[in-house]
Amino acid sequence: MALLTTRPKTGPNGSESRRSVGDTVAEVRGHHRSFGSTHVLRGADLTVRRGEFVALLGRSGSGKSTLLRSLAGLDPSPKGEVSVTGRTSVAFQEPRLLPWRTVERNVELALLNTVRDASRSEKVRGALAEVSLTEKTDVWPGSLSGGQAQRVSLARALVSEPDLLLLDEPFSALDALTRIEMHALVTQLWERHQPAILLVTHDVDEAIALADRVLVLDQGRIAREWQVPLRRTSRSPEHHQIAQLRDEVLGALGVTPTNAHHQETGAA
């Protein structure tokens, strides 16, 4: 079992190591991170199990994005504090597509070091089909709508068949209707490919609707944790278990819940 302390080099043996490892894809132990005199993370602990969908909530500045960046290998972390097994990929709040490459060639870039030239195109087309963008393969990213661009970004993140998919508020810039469609799409893709997902969000309802487990980051560490009850299809906001969980999570975020369940969390 090879626990890599830094971002794993996604080499040709990536899939092999995936099969040989145990139950955990990401492990954070006592992680500290400060910027100047501001201590953002103060001993954060987090375990993400294989195939698990985890939502990480927190107020602005709680360090949730910092934690995600550590897991993505974008932020240097001391040895032993952050370890990720297998392949990781990230979808950010902005799609971050390269404007000078077509949609297809953007997705292809994620396979540059892992898949042979000849079989890339087929995988890319498969990934674009899964996000229903087959007709946009040869288009410049600049001509896509926000939702379409974010779907390309998802396809690019999934095409490398990651063990851990990190989602950094990927729906927050989308309009409400597109966001609902994206929730369904992410759920569907997660069920099909079973990567572990860490979704960083400030939207409590989104977290409860999508995740197996909801975490709240506060004061630089994981303050609270809940298993989300019920199957995803039964998680109606009116259901008393869901309503109660929602109140608890909001409470942990420092928001006094009211009876209106469809309001914005205000914890942006």
Partner 1 sequence: MSALVASRPNSAPSSPGRGTTRRSAASRLSWLRRWVSPLAIVLVWQLLSDAGVIPEDKIASPAQIGATAWQLTKDGTLGDATLVSVQRVLAGFAVGAVIGLVLAVVAGVSRIGEDTVDPPMQMLRTLPHFGLIPLFIVWMGIGEAPKIALIAMGVAFPLYLNTFSGIRSIDRRMTEAAVTMGLTRRQRLRHVVIPGALPQALVGLRQSLGVAWLSLIVAETVSADSGLGYMINHAREFLQTDVIVVGLAVYSILGLATDSLVRLIERRALAWRS
CB 57 within 8 A of CB 201: yes
Residue 186's nearest CA partner among 204, 206, 202 is 206
Residue 90 engages partner 1 in binding (rule: CB under 8 A): yes
Bridge-based pairing state of the strands 213-218 and 221-227: antiparallel
Tokens of 221: 């560490």
6 near partner 1, judged by CB under 8 A: no
Sheet holding 53-57, edge to edge: 88-91, 164-168, 196-201, 53-57, 213-218, 221-227
Kindly indicate which of the ranges 53-61, 105-113, 126-134, 173-181 contains the residues binding partner 1, using the contact rule CB under 8 A: 105-113
Residue 36 Cβ vs partner 1, minimum distance, rounded to whole Å: 19
Number of residues binding to partner 1, judged by CB under 8 A: 25
Residues 139 to 198: which contact partner 1 by CB under 8 A? 140, 142, 156, 160
Q: Where in the chain does DSSP place strands (E)?
A: 24-35, 38-49, 53-57, 82-84, 88-91, 164-168, 196-201, 213-218, 221-227
- Smallest gap from Cβ 38 to partner 1, in A, equals 21
Taking the complex as a whole, the smallest distance from the CB of residue 64 to partner 1 amounts, in Å, to 17
* Binding window for partner 1 (CB under 8 A); candidates: 32-40, 86-94, 178-186, 217-225: 86-94
List the one residue out of 209, 219, 220, 215 whose CA is nearest residue 242.
209
Taking CB under 8 A as the criterion, the residue among 2, 6, 61, 96 binding partner 1 is: 96
Interface residues toward partner 1, by CB under 8 A: 7, 9-10, 72-74, 88-90, 92, 94, 96, 98-101, 109-110, 112-114, 140, 142, 156, 160
